[in-house]
Amino acid sequence: MSGENIPETPSLPSSGRLILTLATIAMMSGFVVVFVYQVTLEPIARNHRMALEKAVFTVIPGADTRVNYLLESEGLKRLDDEDIDRANLFAGYDAEGSLIGVAMQASARGYADVIRVLYGYSPERECIIGFTVLQSSETPGLGDKIETDPDFLANFECLDVSLNQEQTGLDNEIRAVRQGTKTEPWQIDGITGATISVEAVARALRESADRMLPILAGHLYELTEPDDISPDRGPYLSDSKVDAGFNPDKE
């Protein structure tokens, strides 16, 4: 490499050779990257599915199967696992195939970055029954207590999100309060030192629940009758016959 005693510029090899070298290396590189991508594609997708599944089952205690849905103002659409990225609602069923709750994502800006959470909603009890943080960069030791603090997580055993009479929004807004001052079932007992993170969680849940739950209320009957969760969906058979009349275009 260091044989030449002439300065660098005159000893320039033909640009053809330079281009050829770079092109060859770039092509080899492209081949390797595509190969690795192909090999890892399936495991990566499986990891994401498993992580989501774990989160869904965490926020819907007692569920052991899940169905993906896309809930929009136009309606509720069932999605296969291939389209899981588009899903915004996951219904959780127990072993008998009855609906326990639905899991939905919510997000709000926290102290460091956007906090994304998944929460479980029980239509029967009209409250939030589970909560887990999907993504957060909150300060370790302070804001990240929203993921682990047992007293804080106890808020989500049954956080009241009942709808108002017109079914247009929440009856009572979810609010974060100072630690130890929770008096109403729709209040979130805060964490000292993590006020901003707790308020972000409250805001995320409030906005998401206020927007999604009224839409969900109109489509709830579609969830209680899943197509192929369980062969015998005994208790729901009669319901579904009635429901079918309301919604002829249901699959």
Residue ranges binding other proteins (CB under 8 A): 1, 8, 12-13, 17-18, 21-22, 25-26, 28-29, 32-33, 36-37, 39-40, 43-44, 47-48, 50-51, 135, 139-142
Q: Which is nearer to other proteins, 12 or 242 (CB)?
A: 12
Q: Residues near 69 by Cβ (< 8 Å), separated by ≥ 6?
A: 76, 77, 78, 79, 87, 88, 89, 90, 91, 223
| Minimum CB distance to other proteins, residue 14 (Å) | 9
| Minimum CB distance to other proteins, residue 52 (Å) | 10
Query: Helices 237-246 & 195-223, crossing angle to 10 degrees?
Result: 90
Distance of alpha carbon 67 from alpha carbon 192, whole angstroms: 37
Q: Which is nearer to other proteins, 140 or 231 (CB)?
A: 140
Q: Which is nearer to other proteins, 16 or 248 (CB)?
A: 16
Beta bridge partners of 70: 77
Cβ-contact 87, 53 below 8 angstroms = no
| Minimum CB distance to other proteins, residue 135 (Å) | 8
Distance of alpha carbon 235 from alpha carbon 218, whole angstroms: 20
| Minimum CB distance to other proteins, residue 218 (Å) | 35
| Minimum CB distance to other proteins, residue 5 (Å) | 14
Query: Which H or E run includes 67?
Result: strand 65-72
**Tokens linked to 241:** 């016959």
Cβ-contact 108, 86 below 8 angstroms = no
Report the candidate in 65, 42, 56 with the shortest Cα–Cα distance to residue 87: 56
Q: Residues near 133 by Cβ (< 8 Å), separated by ≥ 6?
A: 115, 116, 117, 146, 147
| Minimum CB distance to other proteins, residue 22 (Å) | 5
Q: Which is nearer to other proteins, 51 or 237 (CB)?
A: 51
What Rg do the C-alpha atoms of the chain give, in angstroms?
26
